Amino acid sequence: MSVISQVPVTKYMVASEMSKREHWVTEKFKHEDRSYLDLPFSFSYGGQPSHQLLKNWDLQRHTQQLDEHRTENKLVYTDTVTGLVLSCLMVEYHHFPIVEWTLSFRNTGSENTPIIADIQALDTKFTSKSEGEYLLNHHTGSPCTPTDYQPHQTLLEPETSKEISTSGGRSSNSDFPYFNLQWREGGVLIAIGWPGQWSVKFNRDEGSELHIQAGQELTHFLLHPDEEVRSPLIAMQFWDADCLRAHNTWRYWMLTQNLPRPYGQPVAPQTAACSSHQYEEMINANEENQKMFIDGYLREGLKLDYWWMDAGWYPNESGWTNTGTWEVDTIRFPNQLRAITDYGRSKDVKSIVWFEVERVTPGTWLYDNHPEWLLGDTEWKLLNLGDSDARDWLIEHVDNLINEQGIDLYRVDFNIDPLVFWRGNDSENRQGITEIKYVMGFLNYWDELRRRHPDMLIDTCASGGRRNDLETLRRAVPLLRSDLILEPTAQQNHTYGIASWIPFYGTGINAFDAYTFRSQMCVHSTACYDMRNPDQDFEELRQRYAEWSVVSPYSLGDYYPLTPYNSTNEVWMAWQFDRQELGEGVIQVFRRPDSVYESARFRLQGLIADGKYTLNNLDQLDEVEVTGRELMESGLLVSITEQPGSAIISYKLKG
């Protein structure tokens, strides 16, 4: 089944939304009257607000069409007195009601600049034409809880405010950097692309005006001559009336314009497997048992796209957390990892290899040989990716490992909060600089690896889902969306929340029974079975994987939650994935263990009202025909007698 390639892009174009975006862009970025200035960002410079200063700075405009989907607009403001140059790089999308921008500051003068402070990459106001309230939709991040990605709604009444930020410097550590602000006439989706410490504030006045500011949480610094820094990326999508449709427009934009495209193709459903849940965090892994596990899966007819070598393949006398010597442990792997990756590829199984290069611990090569590259005065230290020497070494070293060991997918963990290291390295007049340089170095590092390996995926893990901002997801995919895996209710909740924003994500699978396995299903699934035990019910497992092969391609289509979010076990939870261009889709339904109800009715979405659909419950042999109108208006009745129990129902438009 083709994945998203057949979707007509016009499906996601609504004239009123495009017009609203264009009007907003014209007012904010393209207004010709220099006396009128309503730019959607702000900062102070030498104690003066930017909205006053920029009216008097030199301005140059540059426009170019990047490709069939995007036009780039660049505003360049120059302070001729100090030589500070502010560039705003703004991109409009031709087929989506989406605009994005990033700021950069460069000192072209011969002296240090005055203090640049309080940079708000987003600083704008919205005024509702009606008297309705503003409703802010936001989510928990991924702090390894059963309620990771939980959706929240905050009513922004007159004279109220709401401030949200991540914690510790990882971008989705406590809160998710994606927001849907809605009012009676529609709304706007906002994303912050910043793999660092971001903050956003929503302030409503006594009337109908709402003020939004977002950016790096702390900025107060001077720039040295020829020094340049950047702001977070801001992306905004305007929408009218239909909130669910807005999120599906966003999902399609993420798939087609943002997520990596190995071999020039959209990311597709994947299966992987690893042995780290049977061994003590890979400490006992060796060439023999890794090959044995690969053979075990293939022997049982369980196709793998990837074999996953997890933490611990390097020398680590005190355990897998002892990171900083990035060489293969030749005691356990005398033929290097290449023996395993080549073995897998000979059986059409590619390799994933785990790294955590940013955290450095005592007794390792980096710790002992390059203390000048490390940040912090604690036992665990942070490799300073803002240091060009450290970054250049890392690029060459990891690139060599990828080539020498035959690594197909580079898995990146990040089990340390960097904020205290960044801020501890800043002086009074350089607050925020270490973080900015680190973020710029981090993105440059990944960009260079991707330039050298254009068909290689990167997995952003970061303790399971703690670095999932937009800039990161333009370079990587989250194969482990949370470090809390396997428990079925939590896995249902995670899918329910993350799917509104991120279409490609993964988790671990270890179940044989239908209810648990179906709860764990993701578009990327990593098997965690003990292939040393031949007495497991592999026939049952093959059936579960056959179900995954039905569901997973639809997971990249439109997403419709069919029930409210609920973290308790007394309810049903259900959602629908729809591939309208194919006239097909799937409904996943869960009756949780403490629910007393044996049936529930769900109104489907996104169907053709006059079309006839054939429905197939994967647990039953019979098919039924129902019109799209019936399914959307009366709903689909689903009965589940098991407690807990589940159902997967696929549908297809007839002729």
The residue whose two tokens read 């809160």 is 175
Residue 601 forms beta bridges with which residues? 637
The residue whose two tokens read 């006439």 is 185
CB-based contact 207:160 (threshold 8 Å): no
Which residues are CB-contacts of 513 (< 8 A; sequence separation ≥ 6)? 540
So what's the pLDDT on residue 189? 98
So what's the pLDDT on residue 3? 47
Q: Measure the CA dihedral 256/261/265/267, to 10°.
A: -80
pTM for this model (two decimals): 0.96
Asked if residue 644 has a cis previous peptide bond (ω within 30° of 0), the answer is yes
Phi, psi of 381 (to 5 degrees): -125, 170
Strands (E), 390-513: 409-412, 430-431, 457-460, 506-509
CB-based contact 383:366 (threshold 8 Å): yes
CB-based contact 253:13 (threshold 8 Å): no
CA 565/CA 152 separation, integer angstroms? 9
So what's the pLDDT on residue 10? 61
The helix/strand/coil state of 207 is coil
CA 544/CA 515 separation, integer angstroms? 10
Point out the residues of the chain with pLDDT beneath 70.
Answer: 1-11, 131-132, 278-283
Which residues are CB-contacts of 365 (< 8 A; sequence separation ≥ 6)? 324, 325, 326, 327
Rg over CA atoms, the chain: 26
Q: Measure the CA dihedral 245/247/248/250, to 10°.
A: 130
CA 219/CA 117 separation, integer angstroms? 5
CB-based contact 377:370 (threshold 8 Å): no
Type of residue found at 229? V
So what's the pLDDT on residue 1? 40
Find how far residue 153's CA is from the centre of its chain: 21
Q: How many beta carbons lie within 10 A of that of residue 120, not counting itself?
A: 25
Cα torsion 495, 498, 503, 509: sign: negative
Q: pLDDT, tens digit, for every residue of 310-358? A: 999 999 888 899 999 999 999 999 999 999 999 999 999 999 999 999 9
For residue 373, the number of C-alpha atoms closer than 13 Å in the C-beta half-sphere is: 23
Which residues are CB-contacts of 338 (< 8 A; sequence separation ≥ 6)? 404, 405, 406
Q: Give me the helix-helix angle, 388-405 and 433-452, nearest 10°.
A: 30
Q: pLDDT, tens digit, for every residue of 91-125? A: 999 999 999 999 999 999 999 999 999 999 999 99
Which residues are CB-contacts of 265 (< 8 A; sequence separation ≥ 6)? none
The helix/strand/coil state of 418 is coil
Q: How many beta carbons lie within 10 A of that of residue 209, not counting itself?
A: 14
Closest CA to 431 of 251, 217, 152: 217
DSSP state of 233: E
Which residues are CB-contacts of 79 (< 8 A; sequence separation ≥ 6)? 45, 53, 57, 85
Closest CA to 241 of 153, 294, 176, 182: 182
Q: How many beta carbons lie within 10 A of that of residue 187, not counting itself?
A: 24
Closest CA to 179 of 145, 141, 144, 208: 141
